[in-house]
């Protein structure tokens, strides 16, 4: 039977429904919850009402596609908002389904599971999965055979970095230089392990794939940051099909990915699967175990 996950992130809310190994429905809505958290420290009532309505629509759509099990996952907005528990309670009513506020480690682990499920990586090879979200960054390393064995996280994602240092469109070289310095400062104690390969998940990585393909090495990311420093979001949308909402945070996402790729010292391969796919795999396993 089909199963579904609603992923409530800092930039977007996404629904993924799968059944018999096929994607049945994938939709998203841009709510920019992380912007509210950055500005107010919480998710205010008007934004909560938008979120309630969105999750209610997504839950109805999932059940219309036959989903036998549905779970709502809340990532950095739930962890960082002072009213995170209230958010979880409201979403449980909206979805009529279980709601989990994921810790940063849980978020990274699910992204690792989801990315490796579709990756052509040998079982023993050490691989890092880089997840740059709107409100936080997770890096998880390990192998397919043994699972994850290293984890790191920073509360600075593409939306938060944009709000703090890159509000202009386009941001310009001086602001990009400040953003690079801030990311380097945040990652100062981020001692990433040695790996043989790296996968990138999340909206920033998927958007950059439209510009440079699925391999994001040092040259591609440096060029991307330079291009994004002076290219307006409207032009990015027109030339590359990047949504306007994503275009506004893409310079920040590229700066963060550039810094992480430098530390990992291997190219980032953009993955088509990630957190939601990992969550669905675990949901299916639980459903089978309970049957």
Question: pLDDT tens-digit profile of 116-145?
Answer: 998 888 878 999 999 999 999 999 999 999
Q: Please, which residues bridge with residue 30 across strands?
A: 12
Same fold flag, 3-102 and 120-270: yes
Q: How far apart are CA 72 and CA 279, in angstroms?
A: 10
- Class for domain 3-102, per CATH? alpha beta
Q: Sign (positive/negative) of CA torsion 259, 262, 264, 268?
A: positive
Q: Residue ranges of the domains in the chain?
A: 3-102, 120-270
pLDDT at 121: 86
Q: Please, which residues bridge with residue 141 across strands?
A: 128, 150
Q: How many CA atoms lie within 13 A of 120 on its CB side?
A: 0
What is the pTM (predicted TM-score) of this model? 0.94
CA nearest neighbour of 134 among 109, 155, 106, 111: 155
pLDDT at 290: 82
Q: How far apart are CA 138 and CA 12, in angstroms?
A: 17
| Spatial CB neighbours of 265, under 8 Å, sequence gap ≥ 6 | none
Q: Was domain 120-270 assigned CATH 3.30.420.150?
A: yes
DSSP secondary structure of 210-245: HHH-SEE-HHHHHHHHHHHHHS-HHHHHHHH---HH
Please state the length of the chain: 291
All residue ranges of the chain with pLDDT < 50 are: none
pLDDT at 50: 98
């Amino acid at each position: 039977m089909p199963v579904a996950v609603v992923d409530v992130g800092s930039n977007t809310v996404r629904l993924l429904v799968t059944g018999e190994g096929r994607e049945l429905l994938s939709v998203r809505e841009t709510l920019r919850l992380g912007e509210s958290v950055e500005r107010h420290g919480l998710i205010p009532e008007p934004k909560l009402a938008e979120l309630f309505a969105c999750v209610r629509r997504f839950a109805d759509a999932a059940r219309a596609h036959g989903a036998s099990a549905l779970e709502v996952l809340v990532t950095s907005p739930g962890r960082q908002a002072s009213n995170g528990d209230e958010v979880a309670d409201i979403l449980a009513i909206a979805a009529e389904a279980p709601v989990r506020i994921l810790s940063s480690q849980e978020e990274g682990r699910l992204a690792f599971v989801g990315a490796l499920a579709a990756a052509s990586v040998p079982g023993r090879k050490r691989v890092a999965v880089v997840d740059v979200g709107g409100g936080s960054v997770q890096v998880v390393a390990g192998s397919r055979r043994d699972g994850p064995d290293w984890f790191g996280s920073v509360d600075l994602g593409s939306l938060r970095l944009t709000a703090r240092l890159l509000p202009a469109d386009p941001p310009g070289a001086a602001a990009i230089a400040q953003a690079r310095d801030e990311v380097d400062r945040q990652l100062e104690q981020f001692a990433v392990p040695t790996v043989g390969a790296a996968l990138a998940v999340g909206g920033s990585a998927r958007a950059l794939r439209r510009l440079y393909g699925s391999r994001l090495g040092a040259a591609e990311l440096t060029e991307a940051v330079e291009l994004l420093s002076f290219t307006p979001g409207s032009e990015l949308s027109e030339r590359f099909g990047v949504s306007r909402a994503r275009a506004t945070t893409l310079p920040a996402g590229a700066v963060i990915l550039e810094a992480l790729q430098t530390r990992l010292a291997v190219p980032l391969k953009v993955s088509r699967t990630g957190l939601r796919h990992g969550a669905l795999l675990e949901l299916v396993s639980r459903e089978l175990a309970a049957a």
